Amino acid sequence: MTKHEMPPKAKRGQGDNAPQPVRTLRDWLDHLQARGRLAIIKPNTDLKFEVAAYAKRLDGVRATLFPQPSGHAIPVVSGLVSDRGWMADAMGVEPADVLDRFQDAALHPLPWSETKSAPVQEVVHRQVNLEKLLPLPTHNEHDGGPYISAGLMITRNPKTGKQNVTIHRCQVNGPNRLGVLLLPRHTLTFFQMAEEAGQPLDAAIVIGVDPLTLLASQAIVPLDQDELEIAGALQGRSLPVTKCLTSKIRVPAEAEIVVEGRFLPGVREPEGPFGEFPQYYGPRADRHVMEVTAVTHRKDAILHTIVGGGLEHQLLGAIPKEATLLAHLKRNFPNVLDVHLSPGGVMRFHLYVKIKKRQEGEAKNVMMGAFAGSFDLKHVTVVDDDVDIHNPTEVEWAVATRFQADRDLLIVPESQGSRLDPSNRDGVGAKMGIDATKPLKAEAMTFKRIRVPGEETIDIADILKRDSGTDWRKALKS
């Protein structure tokens, strides 16, 4: 067996008890509940703001499940993957192996397999009133209305038939109409091909999938690479899919809900504002329109919603971007050990890079490589291999003690950045690189980090358990 055919790494155990990748939303809810990570909120929570308020307060701490939201029969879940460690659990790997595992799946996709028995088609609606049928929440204060925010948008290349999977924000604009923001990515390319021919573009929105399929939808891969095949590779099986009722699109058969429809040529309607990942609103403007042709779902379907700007929103985009940036940097700099898009940098704008420095000046080359790898990056900080880049305080410590602004700062004016950064002008702004590595030729003790021998082996949990409630006077006498 070649290296590429090796089964996915699962380091946490051996044999039958080795962790398996998660395969459905229901399996994932069981997993979260077994670990005390699922909060069940009161029935009848209001879909307008109140669902998002609970989800946001518990962001990164608990996933949230809402029975009968606003009296609706279909429950809502949120915050399924708001922590990197949870994503590692979903993959069945250690947190340090998340990027390697994702990159491996993107490089070695598994074709899906078609099935006719699809739970997601147990119930079929051909006459659709979206707001009556689905419990669609409104999240942030100035959002344009209820949204489908956690739906995988699946379309087919009109020329090749290959599928594309991604997430777009979809605002309810009428009983069977959605206003959809199509950024200049693969869905828009397919739509432009259809529109030029005067044709609609078939589409399906899949709601309620497992965390690995959600993550795969965010992979940065070429046009005509079907992201469902990456989901299969992450799950370690051919993903079971089924054909839509009103188009040729294949959707994950074990999902909760599918909204089928088509983008209309020559039609644009207002969409927005919508609370986005940088903690600001994406603006209202005329956008593409999807007309809904059918909705199918499980008998006891569950609707997943992602609160705009929350950790789940940020993390789902960050992991595939980190994996791509790490692979991109390693091609030129094999001594780049790890990268991290920090939460304070909205997991898009600030990159921390850990290197095993070989030569002075190298950190600045690494910064330039990173900026060339993603135009979203605004500030890149490079540190040595003794700094934990997942801890922002550690990175700040390295900047505080190893960086001098006249010598270690790189500024590139007037370059392309994110249009969602309100401080630049129409997506044009400055890049900044910070070299916080120590000089190679420093005296041995100058940058020697202080350390108390034996500190790391002390079991704190044991001490906290034993000594809570003990009278200190009595303890001294015994």
Binding residues vs Mn ion (CB under 5 A): 164, 186
Is 186 or 350 the residue whose CB approaches Mn ion more closely? 186
What are the CA-CA distances from residue 281 to residues 345, 373, 377 (Å)? 16, 26, 19
The dihedral region occupied by 171, where left means phi > 0, alpha psi between -120 and 50, and beta the remainder, is beta
- Cα dihedral: 101, 76, 28, 340 (round 10): 30
List the structure tokens of 151.
């739906």
The H or E element containing residue 363 is helix 362-373
Query: How many C-beta atoms lie closer than 10 Å to residue 441's C-beta?
Result: 6
Q: Output the smallest distance, CB 221 to Mn ion, in A.
A: 6
Report in angstroms how near the CB of residue 288 gets to Mn ion at its nearest: 17
Task: Report the nearest approach of Mn ion to the CB of residue 25 (Å).
Answer: 22
Nearer to Mn ion, 230 or 253 (CB): 230
- Of all helices (H) and strands (E), which one includes residue 341? strand 336-341
The residue number with the shortest CB distance to Mn ion is 186
Please, how many CA atoms are within 13 Å of residue 81, restricted to the half-sphere of its CB? Answer: 26
Residue 418: C-alpha distances to residues 228, 243, 273, 329 (Å): 27, 37, 17, 20
- E-strand spans in 128-168? 147-148, 151-156, 163-167
Residue 126 Cβ vs Mn ion, minimum distance, rounded to whole Å: 29
Residue with tokens 């709601």, as numbered in its chain:
207
Q: Nearest-CA neighbor of 146 among 126, 175, 167?
A: 175
Q: Least distance to Mn ion from the beta carbon of 132, Å?
A: 32
Nearest CB to Mn ion, comparing residues 82 and 164: 164
Give CA separation, 90 vs 28, 72, 444, in Å: 8, 29, 43
* DSSP single-letter state for residue 4: G
Where would I find the beta strands (DSSP E) of 72-207? 76-78, 113-114, 123-125, 147-148, 151-156, 163-167, 170-174, 177-180, 201-207
Q: Is the CB of 186 or the CB of 402 nearer to Mn ion?
A: 186
| Shortest Å, Cβ 231 to Mn ion | 12
Nearer to Mn ion, 176 or 187 (CB): 187
For residue 393, give the 3-state DSSP assignment: helix
Q: What is the Cα–Cα distance from 324 to 317, expressed in whole angstroms? A: 11
The least distance separating Mn ion from the CB of residue 159, rounded to whole angstroms, comes to 15
Minimum Å gap between C-beta 210 and Mn ion is: 19
Tell me how crowded residue 387 is: count the other CB atoms within 10 A of its CB: 20
Pairing of strands 379-383, 336-341: unpaired
- Beta carbon nearer to Mn ion, 227 or 435: 227
The least CB distance from residue 227 to Mn ion, in Å, is: 6
Between residues 223 and 440, which has the closer beta carbon with respect to Mn ion? 223
Nearer to Mn ion, 28 or 191 (CB): 191
Q: Report the sign of the C-alpha dihedral through residues 53, 279, 213, 242, in that order.
A: positive
Nearer to Mn ion, 293 or 324 (CB): 324
Nearer to Mn ion, 138 or 155 (CB): 155
Q: In the complex, what is the shortest distance from the CB of residue 418 to Mn ion, in angstroms, rounded to a whole number?
A: 19
The answer for residues whose C-beta is within 8 angstroms of residue 273's C-beta and 6 or more apart is 142, 143, 144, 281, 282, 283, 284
**Measured from the CB atom, is 50 or 226 closer to Mn ion?**
226
The CB-of-95 to Mn ion minimum distance in angstroms stands at 26
> Shortest Cβ distance from residue 222 to Mn ion (Å)?
8
Select 164 or 247, whichever has its Cβ closest to Mn ion: 164
Which residue, chain included where needed, has tokens 């397919």?
A: 190
The neighbour count for residue 286, using CB atoms within 10 Å, is 12
